[in-house]
Structure 1
Amino acid sequence: MAIILELPEKKSRPSGPVSHDAKASEWKVETVTDYEALLWLQPAWDRLAEGLDASLPFLSHAWTRTWWESFGAGKELHVLLVKQGEELKAIVPLMLSWEKIHGMRVRRLGFLYNYHTPRCDFLTARDAKEACRPIWKYLKENMTLWDFLDFCQMPADSESLQAIRVLAYDDGFCPEIRESRPSPYVRIGAWDDYHGGLSRKHRGNLKSSHNRLAGLGRVRFEEISAEGEIGQALHDGFQLEAASWKGKNGTAITSDEATRRFYMGFAARAARRGWLRLHFLASNQRRIAFDYSIRYGNKQYGLKLGYDPAYSAYSPGHLLCLYTLKEAFERGLSEFDFAGVDDKWKLRWTRLSRPHSWLYVFSKSLRGRMLHQIKFRILSCLRGRCRRPAAPAGT
């Protein structure tokens, strides 16, 4: 049986923010491939992240280190450090792994990512718009390491995503973009305006649930952030999260030891830095709902929510969300990010969502070309989406 690999039609050059003025000699890319070197990198990593207004907790050294400790088994660390002269200008946290995709065993080079990672991107200094050029040069020159690049769950408006896409195209590759589900968020302003903008039905349900719960006794909202107080709080919170449908489905934090280790470890490091916010809703001193949030910069990120199903008639998850959002408004934050995808319950709280995209670049190896054909040509036809490649915007 002959396998014929057709090169995809050349697409129109995608638009992007790449300029051609940087001198290649000014830049160099170094790699961090072992855990001890990753630990040593923390001070420089933190300085770079702290200098950015739009940085994410998921790009922090604390998050990256904890993720690797929890989920890195069987993979190879491959963090890129981009320097201009001797000054660190960008960090790209990558890893190498062997993956089985559509029956093929292929080499993946991509972000440290799994279900627990809400968002990825390059960590790039404000004055380093040219950093993507040496990054791409390194990736291209080391193509023997990978069959495909997997830049997953990036903000759709990421300058790094667009720049790598353009650079790959200009060098004869066929970069592919796939959209993923958007992530809802609330833009914070005046509480009365926001609350009044919720649907009348949702506001009525919240009021009714609160009144009925108050009929059982005192209703209390609790926030815990001090490092010395989080041990028991996490124990109680994880039990609440596992008590609902997540425990039955095996997706609760306590259902997997690596997942439990990740959320415990990151909570300790986040609390040490003043980022952690654990919230509870209590009825008569009994904790009945739990929220695991991170306050980073002037934004809050809700990572996990759980509740006691014995109180489901009182909508404890929604009531806790109401209290948590109101507290974020009162603190004068700029945004509450629900993290994750646009689940139906989140859309009761906001009409805003942030689109995300995955960028794939396939190597010119046999495996890379075969994977590209299978993933973006053959399977699309089998699913009824057989068509000519759409030309990206731009010229």
Structure 2
Amino acid sequence: MDAFGADISLAVHFVYDGPRLRGVVPFIAASRNGTDIARLTLPVNSHVRRVGWLADEPASVLSAVLKDLRHRYPTAAIALPQIPRLGPWADAVRRATTMAGLQAWTTPQTSSAVASFTDGWPAYVRGRDSKLLRNLRRHWKRLDPADGWRVALCRDLTDLPAQWDAVLSIESRSWKHANGSSIDTEPGAANLYGHVAQRFAQQRALRLWVLYQHDVPVAHALAVVDRGVFYLLKNSYDEQFRSWSPGMALVWHAMENAASEGIQRTDFLGDAADWKRPLSTDLPEYESWLLFPAWHLRAQGLRFIDQVLKPPVRAFRAWRSQRHAAPLATS
């Protein structure tokens, strides 16, 4: 909220059974521009994909909230973005939607990437592609201390100011800087990640890795550990060192170190980008839900277009593309 909440209206719902608190479901007021037709939305984005909704019985708690929203906003549509496609939360959303008498329109979202070490680091490594392992070992071997390379690990507040300056320096020289997605250029990002780093450093749960050459920061991996999971929040590298793959090598080193601490899972967060997939053991799928009453004509119309009209158009385009790509017969 400090970083991005200046124009956000909160609508946090507390569900009680008598004096007993059964659950908390946070919503924010959705944008009213463009094609956004939802009145309220869960505050979830594609980078984190964590629903900040607490409940002893998720379906019952969400159903109570949805019924309350129907009473307050009879014609409103409610957005539940980035819900895992499988598992207890998806089941809870389905049940709660039915219990609240609402209809649903779901749209698929991109997958995320997770690496599991439940059988130990050696077993995880054996499951990786041999070419990937050769490249990782080759890149790490090139980072020879004799050539001025060294790695620094920041866990607490003592070293955080200097290492955070190194992170911002690396981000300013990364490919992300040019497209406006680096920590130092994206509005609010430096405030958000700086606050997160400081908070977890106080708990000694910060894992900030910085790779240096001759005291010049070249790559970083900003992560936190929580309940046995290593969350990779941000990572980047100096663009001029691209051929060395310092970012990938540093992430691999950080994962191995996490496994040595007894951590059994790395969550790469964000989308399952190409560089994450070879490191992953699982690619969880997500979908976003739009809930609305039966008489919400605009939502019904958009669902009809998406589920009835668009599929044959997509199928025709795919058929035409394959037909044009087919090799010509020769005599």
Structure 2: give runs of 5+ residues left out of the alignment.
Answer: 315-331
**2:223 alignment partner, SS class:** strand
Q: Which of 143, 156, 162 is matched with 2:85 structurally?
A: 156
The residue number in structure 1 matching 2:12 is 79
Shift in Å, 1:96: 1.1
The corresponding residue for 1:373 is 301
Deviations 1:242-297 (A, max 9, x none): 31211111111111331221111222222223332211122343321101112111
User: Per the alignment, do residues 155 and 115 of structure 1 end up closer, same or farther by CA in structure 2, a change over 3 Å counting?
Assistant: closer
3-state SS of paired residue (2:24): strand
Equivalent residue of 1:226, what SS?
A: coil
Letter in 1 for 2:53: F
Does residue 109 of structure 2 align to residue 109 of structure 1?
A: no
1:336 matched residue in structure 2: 266
Which string of whole-angstrom CA distances, capped at 9 and with x for unpartnered residues, describes residues 72-129 of structure 1? 2322101112223323332212111332233xx745311123454333252223x676
The answer to whether structure 1 residue 362 and structure 2 residue 289 are counterparts is no
Question: Does the 8 Å CA contact 2:232/2:268 hold for their aligned counterparts?
Answer: yes
- Tell me the matched-pair count: 313
Out of 70, 89, 113, the residue aligned to residue 3 of structure 2 is: 70
1:120 corresponds in structure 2 to: 51
Tell me, in whole angstroms, the C-alpha distance in 2 between the residues paired with 1:273 and 1:88: 28
Distance of aligned partners of 1:155 and 1:75 in 2 relative to their CA distance in 1, 3 Å threshold: same
1:285 matched to 2:218: no
Contact 2:113 2:277 in 1 (8 A): yes
Give the C-alpha shift of residue 381 in structure 1.
5.5
Percent identity between the two aligned chains = 22
Q: Are 1:161 and 1:359, in contact at CA under 8 Å, matched by a contact in 2? A: no
Q: Are the counterparts in 2 of residues 75 and 96 from structure 1 also a CA contact under 8 Å?
A: yes
TM-superposed CA distance for 1:348, in Å, is: 1.7
- Amino acid of the structure 2 residue aligned with 1:153: Q
2:83–2:89 Cα contact (<8 Å) kept? no
Partner secondary structure for residue 70 of structure 1: coil
Determine if the alignment matches structure 1 residue 267 to structure 2 residue 197. yes
Tell whether 2:21 aligns with 1:88.
yes
Q: Secondary structure at the match of 1:101?
A: coil
CA shift in 2, pair 1:369/1:271, >3 Å: farther
Q: What are the within-5 Å matches in structure 2 for residues 292-331 of structure 1? A: 292-331=222-261
Distance 2:41 2:47 in 1: 15
**Per-residue deviation, 1:218:** 4.5
Note the aligned Cα RMSD (angstroms): 2.5
Mapped contact 2:59–2:96 kept (Cα < 8 A): no
The answer to whether the 8 A contact 1:154-1:358 is kept is: yes
Which one is further off, 240-249 or 263-272?
Answer: 263-272
Distance 1:192 1:284, change over 3 A: farther
| Aligned counterpart, 1:211 | 141
1:362·1:369 contact (CA, 8 Å) conserved in 2?
no
Matched letter for residue 299 of structure 2: L
SS in 2 for 1:117: coil
Taking a change above 3 Å as real, the CA distance of residues 382 and 246 of structure 1, as seen in their structure-2 partners, is farther
Match of 1:230 among 148, 155, 160: 160
SS in structure 1 of the partner of residue 63 of structure 2:
helix
1:165 is aligned to 2:94: yes
The 2-side partners of 1:337 and 1:231 are apart by: 25
Give ranges in structure 1 of 5+ residues lacking alignment: 1-67, 388-395
- Name which of structure 1's ranges 281-290 and 158-167 shifts more when overlaid on structure 2: 158-167
Q: Aligned partners of 1:357 and 1:147: how far apart in 2?
A: 20
Q: Which residue of 2 aligns with 1:137?
A: 67
CA deviation digits over 1:143-164, x for unaligned, max 9? 24x7321111122234344233
CA offset digits 1:318-353 (Å, max 9, x no partner): 110111110111011121111111100001212312
Partner of 2:31: 98
1:180 to 90, 96, 109: 109
Q: Would you say the 8 A contact 1:136–1:164 is kept in 2?
A: no
Alignment partners' CA distance in 2, 1:386 and 1:169: 31
Which stretch shifts more, 329-338 or 166-175? 166-175
* AA of the residue aligned to 2:112: S
CA contact (8 A) 1:294 1:303 kept: yes
